[in-house]
């Protein structure tokens, strides 16, 4: 028997070309940094020139990309925790204000500083204290100690053997009997 073989077709596969090697792989470090800065995935897709659907496919198919995404999320999450803790404990900071003084005619008043230089602007640095934020503290407690601080508590009203409890309602006037 003589078998005839079909010549290989030079036709391209149907569908879109995979952009992982050209758009994702060379930018893995940037992707991790963007996620670490809190940039949302839709914006990252826009920056890379790919669709959100392609992004989702690449995440599901490439462990290297998924690992970079996790590292980026870990960084932004650590920063969020750090600043939340600072917010609910309160902190001290410096406020810098640059001022220019004018006379009654609107001319800039120049002064001589400690070093003998003539300056027309003064810089004031003030230390300020930001008070602890109770709302931030409540948020932290509800999320990190939910058993003690969540808004809603569930109480199990069953006996140790699994049977239901018998509840007897007594009127206040019947309590003396």
Q: How do residues 73-114 score in pLDDT, each as one tens digit? A: 999 989 988 999 999 999 999 998 888 777 778 787 777 777
Is residue 176 one of the residues assigned to a domain? no
pLDDT digits (tens, 9 = 90+) for 35-78: 999 999 999 999 999 999 999 999 999 999 999 999 999 999 89
Is residue 35 one of the residues assigned to a domain? yes
Is residue 110 one of the residues assigned to a domain? no
pLDDT at residue 4, rounded to an integer: 61
Q: Which domain holds residue 66?
A: 18-90
Is residue 95 one of the residues assigned to a domain? no
Q: Can you point out the beta strands (E) in 10-163?
A: 91-100, 111-112, 118-119, 121-130
Is residue 66 one of the residues assigned to a domain? yes
Answer whether 0.75 is exceeded by the pTM: no
pLDDT reading at 151 higher than 70: yes
Average pLDDT estimate for 115-139: 86
Residue 19 sits at the vertex; the CA angle it makes with 18 and 22, to the nearest 5 degrees, is 135
Q: What is the C-alpha to C-alpha distance for residues 149 and 139, in angstroms, rounded to an integer?
A: 9
pLDDT reading at 157 higher than 90: no
Residues sharing a CB contact under 8 Å with residue 84, sequence separation 6 or more, in sequence order:
136, 139, 140
Is residue 124 one of the residues assigned to a domain? no
Is residue 99 one of the residues assigned to a domain? no
Residue 76 sits at the vertex; the CA angle it makes with 71 and 80, to the nearest 5 degrees, is 145
Question: How many domains does the chain divide into?
Answer: 1
pLDDT at residue 113, rounded to an integer: 75
- Which long-range contacts link 38-41 to residues 24+ away (Cβ below 8 Å)? 38/76
Average pLDDT estimate for 11-21: 78
Is residue 40 one of the residues assigned to a domain? yes
């Amino acid at each position: 028997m003589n078998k005839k073989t079909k010549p290989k077709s030079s036709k391209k596969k149907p569908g879109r070309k995979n952009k992982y090697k050209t758009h994702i792989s060379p930018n893995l470090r940037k992707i991790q940094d963007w996620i670490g800065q809190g940039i949302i995935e839709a914006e990252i897709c826009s920056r890379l020139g790919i669709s959100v659907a392609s992004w989702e496919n690449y995440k599901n198919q490439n462990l290297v990309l998924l690992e970079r995404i996790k590292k980026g999320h870990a960084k932004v999450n650590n920063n969020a925790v750090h600043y939340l803790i600072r917010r609910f404990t309160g902190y001290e900071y410096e406020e810098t204000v640059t001022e220019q003084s004018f006379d009654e005619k609107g001319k800039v008043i120049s002064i001589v500083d400690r070093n003998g230089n003539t300056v027309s602007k003064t810089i004031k640095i003030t230390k300020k204290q930001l008070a602890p934020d109770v709302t931030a503290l409540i948020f932290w407690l509800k999320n990190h100690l939910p058993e003690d601080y969540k808004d809603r508590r569930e109480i199990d009203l069953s006996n140790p053997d699994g049977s239901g409890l018998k509840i007897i309602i007594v009127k206040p006037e019947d309590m003396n009997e």
